[in-house]
Amino acid sequence: MDYKYTSKSVEDTLELAQNIESEKFPGMVICLNGDLGSGKTVFVKGFANALGIEDNITSPTFTIVKEYLTGELPLYHMDVYRLDEADFGIEDYFNKEGVSIIEWAELIEDRLPSERLDINIKIIDENTRILVFKPHGLKYEELCNAVL
């Protein structure tokens, strides 16, 4: 079952991410998909802030993975847009005790864990976004029911 949420502002997206963070668990994987400028990194900023991470969150476009280890749980922020197929080891993050949030996740769908939360973000206008949540697995279904 898919869930939908309409964000009418950056603040809405930040608040949604903070609410999802409240349901976090070790090994959580969140996959973000959407066009450039849709709000993927904004979502990560809200999640990181709720974890207690004070670092400036930016997209890890050229580094592929940024690790933030100062919050309640480690946060592994990935941008796989430029991931080379020869790159390996990204799957190792999925088995760690932190939370992995992956931007452009559809590009590595065959490498993603079977249990995860997919969030597709569609731009409606300058401020409005539709976020469609597709939970894979019971924990993610329960998360969506609790937050959305």
Q: Where are the domains of the chain?
A: 3-147
What integer pLDDT is reported at residue 84 of this predicted model?
63
Q: How far apart are CA 99 and CA 107, in angstroms?
A: 19
Return the CATH superfamily for domain 3-147.
P-loop containing nucleotide triphosphate hydrolases (3.40.50.300)
Pairing label, strands 29-34, 99-103: parallel
What integer pLDDT is reported at residue 61 of this predicted model?
73
First-residue to last-residue Cα distance in the chain = 12
What integer pLDDT is reported at residue 102 of this predicted model?
96
Q: How far apart are CA 122 and CA 71, in angstroms?
A: 29
105, exposed or middle or buried, with CB in 10 Å at 0-12, 13-18, 19+? buried
Beta bridge partners of 31: 102, 118
What integer pLDDT is reported at residue 26 of this predicted model?
95
Where the chain has pLDDT below 70, the residues are 84-88
What integer pLDDT is reported at residue 117 of this predicted model?
98
Tens-place pLDDT, residues 7-23? 999 999 999 999 999 99
Q: How far apart are CA 75 and CA 69, in angstroms?
A: 6
With a pLDDT cut of 90, the percent of the chain lying above it is 84
Which residue's structure tokens are 């969506």?
A: 144
